[in-house]
A and B are shown apart, each in its own frame.
Chain A
Amino acid sequence: MTETASPKMGSAEVWITGIGLATSLGEGLEANWDALNQRRINVDEKAFAPYVVHPFAPVNLDTQIPKKGDQRQMEAWQRIGTYAAGLALDSAGLKGNKEILGRMDMIVAAGGGERDISVDTNVLNAEAKGNAGPGFLNERLMNDLRPTLFLAQLSNLLAGNIAIVHGVTGSSRTFMGEEVAGVDAARVALARIAAGQSDIALIGGSQNGERKDLLVLYEFGDFNLKDKFAPVWARERHAGFALGSAGAFLVIESKAHATARGAKPFARLTSVVADFSRRKHPGDVTSTLENLWSKLGKIDAGAIITGASGAEPATSEERAFLTKHPGFAVRATGTSFGHTMETQFPLGLALAALSISRGALFAPGDSSGVEIEMSETPTQIVVIGTGHWRGEGMALVEAIK
């Protein structure tokens, strides 16, 4: 990060110039846009019963990750993310542009840690049978784990793989921390470009929701949606979320940098704000969201795209906030895509930018009444990310004047 002039604090306008989406609804902007407008949802209530998940819509990995060797070094979450990152670079017209990619910054919001389920199960069964001496775990792991699995588990290796496969080698940072990691990745990347510390950045994340080991973590807190799918706003009988599978990446850059290379923008990323409510008292999340809203900038009218998870009490508190802003059409991405955790906020940003660029908000995702039709052209869309447990964030995405 070499700065050679006094940075003006927060002064550069930042545009979204590339979007890559690979989700349970399909790959690319057209497929996802069409699926949303057709109200299509891809859930599996059987393969992980009683849990409900949104499975990844298969893609031809070769088109974005040409080397089979690279594909084999990754677990599914990294393949999904590296694929979507490639789509974003294509969308921005940057694929193969070594000069720009070589200095492009990257902030990835990542989970990771995909287990080898069969190794874990075999170890636990053998131990249960009473066959395990003191060195048993060590020996089983040394013999049964494939050596490259660790690299496929490491959170920072999604960024590492994107660097290797796509040649993005400016700075490379990985944020962890569930939903708000996706907010902070956008927040910090935007702040750096606005202040002149960076010209162009790739931000985003990915999750593979078809993971029993991931279900375990959320089952500890009884957060998994069970038995039957229901839209996010219709889960009164059983709160919770259905794990989603998606990769969502965006290219953001300063207006000057975009204009100089003739890039066609989708929208402006005007502001991203985040906070950490201690959630000690009922209403804490609602008031935190209200506070964030006041920091976004001037909002006249528009829409809200939220990653509300369906978990409680966070979702009810968010609904209380939304009822205080009744003029805004709301869309919950958790209904259409499932809950993709770190990826939910980048997904929301992508859909906001896409909507603005197409001059229309996509169709409501359910019939609960929370999501209403919007006939006007949206020029301002607020993206909300409320963590199922902790973390709150918002962004203002605007049409370029």
Chain B
Amino acid sequence: MTAAQDKFGRPVVVVTGMGVVTSLGAGKTDNWAKLTAGESGIRTITRFPTEGLKTTMAGTVDFVPVEPFSSTDLSERLGDLAAEEAVTQASIGSKGDFPGPLFLAVAPVEIEWPQRQELARVVGTTDFSYDDLLRVCGGGKFTRYHQRFLFGSVADYLAEKYGTKGSPISLSTACASGATAIQLGVEAIRRGEASATLCVATDGSVNPEALVRFSLLSALSTHNDPPQQAVRPFSKNRDGFVMAEGAGALVLESYEAAAARGAKILGIVAGCGELADSFHRTRSSPDGKPIIGCVRNALADAGLAPEQIDYINAHGTGTPENDKMEYLGISSVFGERTSQVPVSSNKSMVGHTLSAAGAVEAIFSLLTLEHQRIPPTINYEVPDPAIPFDVVPNKARDARVTAVMSNSFGFGGQNASLILTCEPV
């Protein structure tokens, strides 16, 4: 086994560029500083009226101007910011010529309320049917909306701007999407299809209907005041997740390609695991088997034993259900060692960045490896005795970290785990 191949004879996949934007700020430096300071990016929503909503706070990204505004445009802008940072850091290819494919995790694109309302204004009457709306859509007035609201529009924009190769892929595995984007890149490199991939995950969806949708599923925290204290992963008084926006981008390369061009290696994606759950559309199987299987798959793919994991970057949404199931899954695999492995949730500070989460948190995991410092789980005032994790409560902690597991468990039962290391394993 050379440095370029892992213990299974596959090309080692390294990270040579990372970019991130969240409610904490733009870029790795600002995000890392605030994350390790235990700051929260959750705020009361000011983007639109919140009267009539049970949840009035989110981790919105309000410092990125988008005009005219749509969630799709914001998602594209965030993905672009993250990709720019990652590609610049990697110093790979040349401007507009990325030597590999694009994998983009993105929320399903759809026409939004402002556009519907605009159509209604064009109809101009006060007792109209959907057919009347249809009648004013054509004739060339709204061609930009066809392009904007195709499912592939964000990926197409990024593929054109960064000059990625081949057909760009837009993917969704709900809350695991960001991890799946990385996994697709890893697989492509391992089978020799690409020596570099651009993996981007973005979500800019805090709008009225998105908030209502999650609210109707009773998934959201209603701890609106103060908003910074709403996300309480693993606490006895946790009451749901908080929607948030953000993007993460990674440049992945084969070790061989990275070494050949003298690229700085930021970390290694040692293993990826996934497993689907067939129990329920929003709840995990009570026996935890899919989560256990997913975690075991990731460890097996990396060729590591549970004892070799120094830190778990949890899915940790702060819902009563997820945190309990995550504990069941982790403790089943890690056994007696469970309470000694630090397990913290970035979502306690940046909220749930949904389609972006898996990538955002993979980047935070890689920064944990770089800085040898574990970000805390904040808002941890009332421990849940049924979840005796060491959650790295409230304050960041210096630690010797060589291998990190990052978990993402999505709606619709799509689970993914990544193993990230500083050195080849």
Interface residues of A (CB under 8 A from B): 1-7, 9-10, 51, 73, 106, 110-113, 117, 120-121, 124-125, 127-129, 133-139, 141-142, 145, 147-151, 153-157, 159-161, 163-164, 167-178, 180-181, 183-184, 187-188, 191-192, 194-195, 197, 212-213, 215-224, 274-276, 278, 389-393
Contact = CB atoms under 8 A, between A and B. Distances in A.
Interface of B: 8-10, 49-54, 106, 108-111, 113, 116-117, 119-121, 123, 125-131, 133-134, 137-140, 142-143, 145-147, 149-152, 155-156, 159-160, 166-174, 180, 183-184, 187-188, 190-193, 208-209, 212-217, 272-282, 290, 297, 300-301, 410-414
B413 A217 contact: no
B275 A171 contact: yes
Nearest to B142: A220
Given A7-B191, A155-B151, A184-B169, A212 B131 contact: yes
A1 to B, nearest CB: 6
Given A164-B279, A180-B152, A155 B50 contact: no
Contact of A222 (B129, B139, B208, B215): B139
Contact of A216 (B53, B111, B273): B111
Contacts of B149: 217, 220
Given A7-B191, A154-B108, A170-B275, A176 B412 contact: no
A1 B187 contact: yes
Contact of A133 (B51, B140, B174, B290): B51
Given A2-B297, A219-B137, A184 B277 contact: no
Contacts of A125: 120, 126-128
Given A7-B10, A142-B53, 5 more contacts: A73-B281, A127-B117, A164-B413, A175-B169, A180-B167
B301 A3 contact: yes
Nearest to A111: B151
Nearest to A143: B52
Contact of A276 (B129, B167, B172, B188): B167
Contacts, number: 274
A159 B278 CA distance: 10
A173 B180 CA distance: 8
Contacts of B155: 177
B278 A2 contact: no
B223 to A, nearest CB: 18
Given A164-B278, A174-B171, A150 B216 contact: yes
B126 A135 contact: no
B237 to A, nearest CB: 24
A215 B147 CA distance: 14
A215 B414 CA distance: 30
A161 B108 CA distance: 17
A7 to B, nearest CB: 6
A121 B10 contact: no
A155 B172 contact: yes
Contact of B52 (A7, A142, A163): A142
Nearest to A101: B278
Contacts of B297: 1-2
Given A120-B116, A172-B276, A177 B169 contact: yes
A125 B300 CA distance: 57
B213 A150 contact: yes
B183 to A, nearest CB: 8
A390 B150 CA distance: 10
Contact of A5 (B9, B121, B138): B9
A219 B414 contact: no
A135 B108 contact: no
A172 B413 contact: yes
A129 B126 contact: yes
Given A138-B52, A172-B413, A178 B281 contact: no
Contact of B51 (A134, A175, A184, A391): A134
B212 A164 contact: no
